[in-house]
Chains A and B, each alone.
Chain A
Amino acid sequence: MVDASVAKRLVQAIIDNLPEPVPGRRPVHTIGIGVKGEFVASDVARTYCIAEHFNGQPVPVSVRFSNGLGGLEQHDGWSDVRGMAIRFHLPDGTGSDLIATTLGEFFVRNVADFFEFAKVAKREPYQRRHWLLKIADFLRLKVPPRNPYPNETENVDAGALRYANRHRFSQLGIFQVGSIGAPESYARASYHAVHTFWVTAPDGVRRPVRFSWQPVAGVRNIDPADVSRDKYLFKELEDRLKRWPARFMLMMIIGEAGDALDDPTKPWPATRVRVVMGTLTLTEVPKDQEAAGERISFNPCRLAPGIEASNDPILEARRCAYEVSRELRDGCPFRWRPDNANSK
């Protein structure tokens, strides 16, 4: 179990790397928008998992989409990881959360890695690379670091690269962050919950799985030259939902013996069985964004009976860290089932 002091240090490490403190707000994924909708499980979902939201009855959901960067500045057009946190509201008033991002794999394996990463990947001044150095890069068949975005003076790119050069396990995640781009819409990106979870079927069989959301509208990024479009994602989503609901399919990938169960840096092969677990339909951006987008608080370990966290140390660390962060920003507490609250 990750104790509270470690969780506090994790959150503090994130806060310390912010351009400026953001009291009352999330220290990462600060900018976000709450959305309402409904999830309906597929016919087969219940044969794989006994969790209530997979039994086929529609369940209401609360979703929060976000930009990954911490801080109050909104730069929708910048290349950045996007978040999609969802709560399935169960009939007894409890909930089951699933937190996902556009990044398929994480870049650290455990808490010790995270602290080392936080030490190495500090914000540093970021300037355009001199043209002579760029020519030297071209001659070495390297791609020079991108030009700074308008008004971008600092970032963690150089430190993250230094970290990746030292640790092969982090290279996939960090490389992907560098090339992830900006989606045309929050409803036009795939989101991955990264960690392994265990699901229990009605016959008692437990399977290791990973979850991903796939947008029915298809995946599409904006032109990378459009980086100066700072604010378009909220309005795009509101306009989209006024016209028509947005849908996502929940895919569940079933792991096999030998697949990484406790390491979020390791991808699973594309050859694993994929099951369609249901369809999410987003209908409305509530007016009260203070409640729907700000105070609402998710936790990756808040899980309905039938879904369990794996022993992934990052997942385990997030359980406590997200509560610490919620308390710091006075986020809305949400009922935990007693058997789920401290099960690790």
Chain B
Amino acid sequence: MPIPSDEGWIDRFVDRLPETRLFKLVASWILVPLWARLTPVKPLPGGPHPSFQHGDNVQCMMNLIMPLKDKSPVGRALAALAIAQNKEAIFAGLNNVGTVHFARFVIVGDNICMFSVYDGDFTNYIRDFIATIGSVFNAVVELVEGGEEVIPCEDNVEAFIQWVHERDLYQVPDTATDFLRDQEALNGDRAVSPVNDDLTLLPRKLVLQLRANPNVSLGSGYRAYPGFSVAQVRKHLGVGW
């Protein structure tokens, strides 16, 4: 095919094509669903990557997005009330469990979201909280789609932990190509060099992954003082236990 050396109007038009409304519509209504069928992508599991290393086991993130049953201002107000009414319980739980750096409840759209940063193992984190503030979980989860199956959480510990894990967002790795490694791991692809990849497919793979995992955490979080646990911070600051 002859390659034109000078840029013509058609080159300029094609270069701008992806920014046009028409192309965006074609991409989202035709191309993305088509490629999702032709090259299916599985949802990647949420939560931190399993690791035995200290730095990866402190300041871990949990990002839960839970759709409210009642998608109206009243439903959102009920969620806000559930948190407000349990303020004391939440503080007491935080102080007693001692592995949580912070926890935030946020309403986005018709979802109640819980974002927290904790030390140690995820299942232990939830188990400890069931023990100390199970009633708060019950009050929140009751308002959430599918929540009735796992409450009261004290009576459904393992199912509750699993339910939370399934709602914890996939954490896209910090480095650009590492989500490819996650995809390979999920697909059992252990190939080593030489392989036959096509790195130019990275954009499509990302699009399809974000179709399979519509809500994700971008990166593992930006920490000002990585590598320190709640216990270490409290000890160094002299604020006890």
Residue A22 at the chain B interface, CB threshold 8 Å: no
Give the residue of A141, A174, A274 whose beta carbon is less than 8 angstroms from that of B199: A174
A272–B227 CB distance below 8 A: yes
Q: How far is the CA of A105 from the CA of B193 in the complex (A)?
A: 18
Q: Is B74 an interface residue (CB 8 A)?
A: no
Query: Which B42-62 residues have a C-beta within 8 angstroms of A?
Result: 51-56, 58-59
List the A side residues contacting B199 at CB < 8 Å.
Answer: 161, 164-165, 171, 174-175
Show 30 residue pairs from A and B whose CB-CB distance is below 8 angstroms, ordered by the A residue: A105-B175, A127-B5, A130-B3, A130-B4, A131-B11, A131-B13, A137-B200, A138-B17, A140-B201, A141-B31, A141-B32, A141-B204, A143-B203, A165-B199, A166-B194, A167-B193, A167-B194, A168-B180, A171-B180, A172-B178, A254-B227, A256-B54, A269-B55, A269-B220, A271-B55, A271-B58, A271-B220, A273-B55, A273-B226, A273-B228
User: Bound state CA distance, A166 and B191, in angstroms?
Assistant: 11
Q: In the complex, which residue of chain A has the Cβ closest to the Cβ of B48?
A: A271
Interface residues of B in 172-208 (CB under 8 A from A): 174-178, 180-181, 191-204, 207
B15 beta carbon closer than 8 Å to chain A: yes
The reply to whether the CB of B35 lies closer than 8 angstroms to some CB of chain A is: yes
Flag whether B88 is at the interface (Cβ < 8 A): no
A135 at the B interface (CB under 8 A): yes
> Which 9 A-B residue pairings sit nearest by Cβ, starting from the closest?
A273-B227, A141-B204, A271-B55, A131-B14, A166-B194, A167-B193, A171-B177, A256-B53, A172-B177
User: Which A residues form the contact surface with B (CB < 8 A)?
Assistant: 104-105, 127-135, 137-143, 147, 161, 164-169, 171-172, 174-176, 179, 254, 256-259, 267, 269-274
Asked if B236 is at the interface of the complex by the 8 Å CB criterion, the answer is no
Chain B: which residue is nearest A104 at the CB level? B175
**B17, A270: Cβ atoms under 8 Å?**
no
Within the complex, the shortest CB–CB distance from A30 to chain B, in Å, comes to 28
Q: Are B52 and A274 in contact (CB under 8 A)?
A: no
Q: Mark B8-28, 1 if CB is under 8 A from A, else 0.
A: 001101110110000100010
Q: Across the interface, which residues of B come within 8 angstroms of A172, CB to CB?
A: 175-178
Contact of A175 among B23, B56, B202, B219 (CB under 8 A): B202
Q: Roughly how many angstroms separate A21 CA and B202 CA in the complex, as a whole number?
A: 36
A175 touches B195 (CB 8 A): no
> In the complex, how many angstroms separate the beta carbon of B155 from the nearest chain A beta carbon?
35
Contact partner, A139, options B31, B52, B181, Cβ 8 Å: B31
Other A-B pairs beyond A161-B200, A171-B197, A269-B53, 6, CB < 8 Å? A131-B14, A142-B203, A165-B196, A166-B194, A166-B197, A270-B226
Tell me the complex Cα distance, A167–B197, Å. Answer: 8
Instruction: Bits for B89-128, please: 1 = Cβ < 8 Å to A, else 0.
Output: 0000000000000000000000000000000000000000
B37 within 8 A of partner (CB)? no
B197 and A168 contacting across the interface, CB-CB below 8 Å: yes
* Contact in complex: B196, A270 (CB < 8 Å): no
In this complex, what residue of B is CB-closest to A257? Answer: B53
Smallest CB-CB separation from B10: which chain A residue?
A131
* Beta-carbon contacts under 8 Å, B106-153 to A: none
Partner of A130, one of B1, B13, B17, B221: B1
Report whether B55 and A141 are in contact in the complex, using a CB–CB cutoff of 8 Å.
no
Shortest Cβ distance from A236 into chain B, in angstroms?
28
Residues of B near A137 (CB, < 8 A) are 200
Choose one: B18, B195, B227; the contact of A165 (CB below 8 Å).
B195
Q: What residue in chain A is nearest B27 (Cβ atoms)?
A: A141
In the assembled complex, the Cα of A139 lies from the Cα of B176 at a distance in Å of: 23
C-alpha spacing A137/B13, complex, angstroms = 15
Give the distance in Å from the alpha carbon of A141 to the alpha carbon of B175 in the complex.
Answer: 21
The verdict on A167 contacting B195 (CB below 8 Å), with A127-B3, A269-B174, A271-B56 known, is: yes
**Set of chain A residues within 8 Å of B10, measured between Cβ atoms:** 131
A166 close to B196 (CB less than 8 A): yes
The residues of B that contact A104 with a CB separation of less than 8 Å are 175
Q: How far is the CA of A174 from the CA of B202 in the complex (A)?
A: 13
B29 at the interface (CB under 8 A from A): no
Q: Which residues of A contact B226 (CB under 8 A)?
A: 270-274
Contact A175 B177 (CB under 8 A): yes
* B223-241 interface (Cβ within 8 A of A): 223, 225-228
> Are the CB atoms of A168 and B193 closer together than 8 Å?
yes
CB atoms of B197 and A270 under 8 A apart: no
